[in-house]
Structure 1
């Protein structure tokens, strides 16, 4: 077995992964099987390093303090000229040449002092430069100094202005801030040269690199989905309107053009969008900060979605009181979907055209491929804004989500009219209630969406515009639309089981998201590990809730440190599966479909689609987290084996 070179407790210099920078570290442990040292940096980060990435501290000191060896031809003779007057030699410590070299070194010395890593909105790190009035270089610059390999003869290290300084290409590497500051003012020329070097690095660093890893099938997949997605929506709606929506009757006959277009419906959809914009811009609700952008600033967001749905509820109630017939939505459902589709296309075209003039730091990290169709589909600009109106944030929760609730309410009225009943059926009531709770939860916790992949990573293009304005309100309401013409007599015992199932899914969903949001704000908040609520005895009868109870009462907060300065939560719900919020979503999706019965598979399209969507999103999350956290994510996956469904996946 090979012997180890460094002992536990030794203070050495460790190379930061992905760079040529060395920091002072302390050896904490050694694994003989993997031949890896566990070291701790001064900022508390613990990593595993190979022996080749560790150097003795004396090596760095000797490089600074050691003198240059002179060739024999350059050495001065000890004898002096007879005509030269005797001159008392200076002390060795006051050698002018050494002193000059020391000054130059001190001016250019790279002071490496890791500072806390700021939260970055999935963009390249920011580079800052501030020059003081006394010509000192007092800038804090994100950079990477590529140090040449150490020579065997251990020459003195003097970092000159010709050192290669290059920007970090991606945020996956260690985002560490370094201070470059001169300690002396004896060499103005070197300082000016170094400032010019820093200026060049700063200018180059803002260039956004092209998107290399394409998602959703790449350019071809994005092109196909632009046309396939609306076809799927209209096939679902046309099939659902049939008396027998059996799979044997698929595909349905094409509808007449008059059933797809109506100018009055188009105007109603336009007024609905404008009304939601008006409610969004009202000075009501809390204003919160988003995550830092590449430029360093934080966008402001007004969270008044819950007030908006309350206003809409009051206005709908008043409209019903004054005799406005909301079954009009059901009777012209295809026309409403067509109008929403047209608005989504117009919005997508506007977004792509305006993104061509967006600055480089405003582009989406995954929507900058250079391909027209891919960038149009994914979204070229990350946060398009019209003054204070953030278009992506507005569309995520307002017109589509609140419109979904309004459509469900219209379907309940249409069921009463079509089936000639005085009250909506139990199945319709459950579907409306479950989905209303889901929407109210999203609007009540509106601030949480600011940390999701849609806001942080994805640009705003056709994918999100179509999804927010068309897919969400018209596909998510498919169960209610189905029940209008295909009623299902649901028994109360089976209804109670469905209620328990939906409650289980909601508890998992809400608990997981609450833990995640609290942990992101303050990793040491005791609420992360505190029990969430007391469960009634009826809930404990289900298998899932037995597991959930076990998770809820975990008291110890366990985390895994990462090289980025963040920690991964491995206790509570997030120690159960890697994406417990997705698990809750899938359970609720199943509960929304069960009230429709088992006569046709059409009402279960939502749960099938949503499961595939979350599995795909989990794969995207997995890929991003592995790139960002590296070995820490591998350790998290080792401790938490299952991704979404415990024991299955």
Structure 2
């Protein structure tokens, strides 16, 4: 393992991620496992940098002196040399311009003007349509077919890389729906899912365990900078659970990104549909109960929204920070489809007849939750794509040293995590159709509240570390985290 070059507390020059700009920073620590230096900028922002992005304080001064000596020698080595005539071509003019690979800034992080330039550049290069060309020869003639695939860049990772992702989850969902329609047309009995739910759950558990073992073994054969920051602790149990490798891929197939949305969410919908037919069969009904229809409709809307807005998941902690281990594998393949369908599972054997006034009240509650959830996420995603969009001109923001701004008005001026608030309101609406005779239908909202409160605490820690002083200003203006006037 290479020796540590810089000591804690030492002032050095640190490269700003995604640019060639260097700033004075203080070394605050060193992670031997990831070989990353923890540094702190003058505005309080804390980042982890590779050793190649950290230079001694006098590095650039020494470099400039050596360059000036070389230039002076080259000028004086031939006193009788002839002057090369100037060329009027554009190539000649460009050749005379000095090329400077590294710019040095010793005072403050990027100015607001520079921040806007970074945001515009990242916005313009975020989504890249890629056209694949296929040639087929038919009777000595060349026939070209075109297939357009939307490719989206992920956020910059700690190692400076940007991964690319294919956005096609919603089309995969439509394909799944077509397969279900074909099954129903051919009179396939979907209540089979309810009758064999335990066997299906056990199979998913076994598969997630085998996948986790594979992920752990392959993580020992990848470069160190591709490991998750928290997944290389040295403890077998913890690293196996949390995941060592950040974004495991088989060629261009991203395992974590695929499991995050497709099998779990689509499986959730398929299980719900099977439980709907099971209720009709067991309760000898010609049509599903109103409660079952509401639960299926609410959760179907939620899944379709997630798949349609697939790109938004690229900025979540699961993709950016957490490794892919047993925790996410079990959560994506087992927990989501089999636990999130508890309301529909309960209604199969415990029918609850709703009156229309009660049903309309629950629909209104779910609508309010969805409006908050979708409005907050759409506002955030639109701002990330183009912060200078005239439609967003009414939003108040706080600039940060990372090149991004924090929204302090609109949905994000109401509470710090309005999307979590909308999520919890919808979760309550999913449970209410089941009545109040048992706690099982309410397990989801109890668990989800604990999950989001814990995730919010992790978000706070990451944001305070990333945005420094700017995050403290944001918290002063937006006091409540999830529940207004409560928490």
TM-score range, shorter chain: 0.7 to 0.9
Q: 1:604 aligns with which of 442, 448, 451?
A: 442
Matched, 1:314 2:187: no
Asked if 1:406 corresponds to 2:288, the answer is no
2:150 corresponds in structure 1 to 286
What is the alpha-carbon distance in structure 2 between the residues aligned to residue 146 and residue 636 of structure 1?
25
- Alignment pair present for 1:173 and 2:46: yes
Q: Cα deviation per residue 1:364-403 (whole Å; 9 max; x = unaligned)?
A: 0121111111111111000000111100000000111101
Q: Unmatched 5+ residue regions in structure 2?
A: 1-8, 28-34, 71-146
Match of 2:64 among 182, 202, 208: 182
Alpha-carbon shift at residue 296 of structure 1 (Å): 3.3
1:643 is matched with 481
Asked if residue 380 in structure 1 is aligned to residue 244 in structure 2, the reply is yes
Which residue in 1 is equivalent to 2:306? Answer: 442
Provide the rounded CA distance (Å) in 2 between the counterparts of 1:396 and 1:167. 28
Distance 2:200 2:221 in 1: 33
After TM superposition, give the deviation of residue 575 of structure 1 in Å. 0.3
CA distance in 2, matches of 1:169, 1:585: 35
Q: Does 1:298 align with 2:180?
A: no
Aligned length: 385
2:338 is aligned, of 474, 483, 500, to 474
8 Å Cα contact 1:144-1:167 kept in structure 2:
no
- 1:527/1:372 Cα in 2 relative to 1: closer, same or farther (>3 Å)? farther
Q: Is the 8 A contact 1:174 1:564 kept in 2?
A: no
Aligned residue for 1:432? 296
Q: Residues 150-169 of structure 1 correspond to what in structure 2 (within 5 A)?
A: 168-169=37-38
Output one character per residue of 1:295-336: Cα deviation in whole Å (capped at 9) or x when no partner. Answer: 433212111110111111111111111111111100000110
Pick aligned residue for 1:352 from 207, 213, 216: 216
Q: Find out whether 1:498 has 2:380 as its counterpart.
A: no
Query: Aligned in 2, Cα 1:486/1:385: closer, same or farther, shift over 3 Å?
Result: same
Aligned residue for 1:565, secondary structure, equals coil
SS at match of 1:292: coil
Aligned pair in 2 of structure 1 residues 315, 458: CA closer, same or farther (>3 Å)?
same
Does structure 2 conserve the Cα–Cα contact (< 8 Å) formed by 1:426 and 1:490? yes
Q: Which residue of 1 aligns with 2:321?
A: 457
**Distance (whole Å) between structure 2 residues aligned to residue 589 and residue 443 of structure 1:** 18
- Structure 1's consecutive aligned runs of 4 or more residues displaced over 6 angstroms after TM superposition are 174-179
Structure 2 partner of 1:392: 256
CA contact (8 A) 2:157 2:320 kept: no
Pair 1:487 & 2:345 matched: no
Of 363, 376, 380, which residue of structure 2 is paired with 1:512? 376
Greater RCO, CA 8 A, separation 6+? 2
Contact conserved, 1:174 with 1:563, CA < 8 A, in 2? no
For 1:291, what is the secondary structure of its paired residue? coil
- Are residues 501 and 313 of structure 1, via their aligned partners in 2, closer, same or farther at CA, if it must alter by over 3 Å? same
Say if 1:622 and 1:186 are closer, same or farther in 2 by CA, change over 3 A: closer
Which of 180, 198, 204 is the matching residue for 1:340?
204
Describe the shift of the 1:337–1:170 C-alpha distance in structure 2 as closer, same or farther (beyond 3 A).
farther
- For structure 1, which runs of at least 5 residues remain unmatched after alignment? 1-17, 22-109, 119-125, 127-139, 148-165, 189-282, 530-555
Q: 2:422 aligns with which of 584, 593, 604?
A: 584
Structure 1 pair 306–170 and aligned structure 2 pair: CA distance change class (3 A): farther
Normalised by the length of structure 1, the TM-score is 0.56
Would the aligned equivalents of 2:152 and 2:311 in 1 still touch at CA under 8 Å? Answer: yes
The structure where strand makes up a greater share of residues is 2
C-alpha spacing 1:141/1:326, structure 2 compared with 1 (3 Å): same
Q: Please state how far the C-alpha of 1:355 moved relative to its aligned partner.
A: 0.4
Deviations 1:594-632 (Å, cap 9, x if unpaired)? Answer: 000111111000011001100000001011111122222
Q: TM-score, normalised by structure 2?
A: 0.74
| Other-structure match for 2:112 | none
User: How far apart are residue 291 of structure 1 and its match?
Assistant: 1.6
Pairs within 5 Å for 1:542-581: 556-581=394-419
| Matched-pair contact (CA < 8 Å) for 2:277–2:288 | yes
Alpha-carbon distance change, 629 to 293 in structure 1, aligned in 2, over 3 angstroms: closer
Cα RMSD for the two superposed structures: 2.7
Verify the 8 A CA contact 1:144 1:168 in the aligned structure 2: no
Q: CA deviation at 1:20?
A: 4.1
d(CA) in 2 for partners of 1:441 and 1:167?
Answer: 38
Q: Is the 8 A contact 1:384 1:391 kept in 2?
A: yes
